[in-house]
């Protein structure tokens, strides 16, 4: 969960993390007032195992939203920022079940 970041900066942050980490699955969430912004990035070596769209849909459902995108990057929005922290925490278990 991020603070002090604008939603439009999330995409470039995911690209930067993917370049720095080499092999990774990145999930970033931002809560602003009554709105949630989510982004998931998956490096090319992992898209055969995990699709960003599947993961972002899982997280978005928990924050009252929906989303989608490409296998390597997906976006979502939601309306329940109070659920964002627990939604981000749930990613670890989802990944363990799906990897």
pLDDT in tens, 4-36: 677 778 889 999 999 999 899 999 999 888 999
Choosing among 3.40.50.10540, 3.10.310.40, 3.40.50.10260, 3.40.50.720, the CATH entry for 5-98 is: 3.10.310.40
pLDDT, tens digit, 9 for 90 and up, residues 32-55: 889 999 999 999 999 999 999 999
Give residue limits of the domains in the chain.
5-98
Q: Report the pLDDT value the prediction gives residue 33, as an integer from 0 to 100.
A: 85
Bridge partners of 29? 38
């Amino acid at each position: 969960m991020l603070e002090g970041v604008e939603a439009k900066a999330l995409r470039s942050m995911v690209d930067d993390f993917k370049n720095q980490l080499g092999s990774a699955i990145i999930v970033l969430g931002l809560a602003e007032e009554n709105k949630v912004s989510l982004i998931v990035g998956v490096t090319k070596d992992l898209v055969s195992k995990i699709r960003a769209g599947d993961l972002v849909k899982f997280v978005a459902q928990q924050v009252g939203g929906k989303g989608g995108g490409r296998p390597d990057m997906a976006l979502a929005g939601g309306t329940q920022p109070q659920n964002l922290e627990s939604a981000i925490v749930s990613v670890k278990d989802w990944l363990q079940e799906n990897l």
